[in-house]
Amino acid sequence: MQNLINESFTLPCGQVIKNRVCKAAMTERIAKGNNLAHQGHANLYERWAEGDIGISLTGNVQVDRRNLEGPANVAIDQNNYKDQLDALNTWARAGTKNNTQLWMQISHAGRQTPGEINSSPMAPSDIGLKIPGKNFGTPTPMTEEDILDVIDRFVFTAKIARDTGFTGVQFHSAHGYLLSEFLSPDINNRTDAWGGSIENRARIHLEIIKRCRQEVGEDFPISVKLNSADFQKGGFSPDESIKVAQMLENAGVDIIEISGGTYEQPKLIGVEASINAKRSEKRKESTIAREAYFLEYAQDIRKAVSIPLMVTGGFRTREGINDALQSNVCQIVGIGRPLCADPYCIKKMLSGELETLPSFEKTLSLGPYILSPSSPFTLIKVINAFASMAWFYQQIKNMAKGLMPNQEQKLFNAFTADMKADKLALKDYLNNK
């Protein structure tokens, strides 16, 4: 089998990626309450650049401090960009070492803004999240002026990314954030030019891409992270995803990353059971069993478009990665969690030292009780999934401090430390609001 994982790849805009692996976007949650980039981001991404990755995608950089995924996000807007230009330049220099592409993922949380941050976040419509035990406010439907302002914000942040040394951008239109909310017919019930048909629901994307290309030039990579589906009844469907992919290709996007799920249906964290079961769609067992969660959906999109695709989620073996690349379904594979626990694991795989990436998955223990991830109970699966996420977040925080990941850290300790960090971050944010 041809070892494509080590081969370079040229994007439509002409930029060359040195190999076929991308460090997938994972929210860092290390910014302070002022939401500014700082030295910790440079420390973190320099570590990953040392790991011989082709592309390193940042966590979602927000375009509006009033609508955040979390209180410790980086946010860039007209009011604060001058305060962090030096830090952004430092971040870019560190993250592009070793001929690494560093792309800024740009996002707006929309209705998935925590209620403590904004009790009435902006969204296409007033349809709120339905997640038991979680505080999300009732969305405020966006006016035409609001939509045009958000377009301006995405374009402005992309321009700052290029000006400060980032080598590309990705617009986040997956996982239930604002752009994907516009695409979802069960969330976007607008009757104006921004709702209704799939062409109208995708209009905000096309306007952002057109304006962004005018600002950053033809040689700057523009990517979109797109849901293959919401996996929810009445939501964004695979057929609509194919249509949007065709629109993005015609708009001049360089690569589409295929993902899926929302907060209500969190395929992105590996939970097959829905938090909101009434809206759940069932997936084929054959798809669930695959090494890459979204590869089957990418196959269908590949039949409709010719531009490069990236698939993220579940890749763990050299054989699985090379099989996906050899099939030409995708040209880049995204790797996330293994790079939190070992930032050099891809370098080891590229050199032949590793055939399988370590999983570092753990089981949450509460005193004498072990919450097995194989339990048939949805609640236990969700608890384990979020505790596991907390463990990986702690390793990100370690690297931001200039340390290596602590692979021996107990899952319960990571879980409690992460909750404490979230509370402190929220307090800091509210003090800087």
Any idea which residue has 């003090």 for tokens?
Answer: 431
Q: What is the pLDDT along the chain (433 residues), one digit of tens a residue?
A: 578 999 999 999 999 999 999 999 999 999 999 999 999 999 999 999 999 999 999 999 999 999 999 999 999 999 999 999 999 999 999 999 999 999 999 999 999 999 999 999 999 999 998 776 678 889 999 999 999 999 999 999 999 999 999 999 999 999 899 999 999 999 999 999 999 999 999 999 999 999 999 999 999 999 999 988 656 566 788 899 999 999 999 999 999 999 875 555 544 444 444 444 444 444 444 433 356 778 888 999 999 999 999 998 889 999 999 999 999 999 999 999 999 999 999 999 999 999 999 876 655 444 444 444 454 545 556 666 777 888 999 999 999 999 999 988 888 888 899 999 999 999 999 999 8
pLDDT score of 264:
52
Token pair in block for residue 390? 């907390």
pLDDT score of 388:
83
Residues 226 and 21: beta-carbon distance below 8 Å: no
Closest to 20 in 3D by CA, of 68, 53, 57, 51: 53
Please, which residues have CB within 8 angstroms of residue 319's CB and are 6 or more apart in sequence? 1, 355
CA distances from 26 to 166, 286, 397 (A): 17, 27, 12
pLDDT score of 379:
55
Domains and their CATH numbers in the chain? 4-360 (3.20.20.70)
Please, which residues have CB within 8 angstroms of residue 10's CB and are 6 or more apart in sequence? 16, 17
Neighbouring C-alpha atoms within 13 Å toward the C-beta of 123: 31
Q: How many CB atoms lie within 10 A of CB 353?
A: 10
pLDDT score of 410:
87
Query: What size, in residues, is the chain?
Result: 433
Neighbouring C-alpha atoms within 13 Å toward the C-beta of 331: 18
Burial 124-161, CB ≥16 within 10 A → b, else e: bbebbbeeeeeebbebbebeeeebeebbebbbbbbbbb
What is the distance between the alpha carbons of residues 183 and 205, in angstroms, rounded to a whole number?
Answer: 9
What is the distance between the alpha carbons of residues 55 and 33, in angstroms, rounded to a whole number?
Answer: 28
Mark residue 402 as left, alpha or beta (left: phi above 0; alpha: psi -120 to 50; beta: remaining).
left
What is the distance between the alpha carbons of residues 147 and 149, in angstroms, rounded to a whole number?
Answer: 5
Any idea which residue has 């080598």 for tokens?
Answer: 167
pLDDT score of 278:
43
Residues 106 and 60: beta-carbon distance below 8 Å: yes
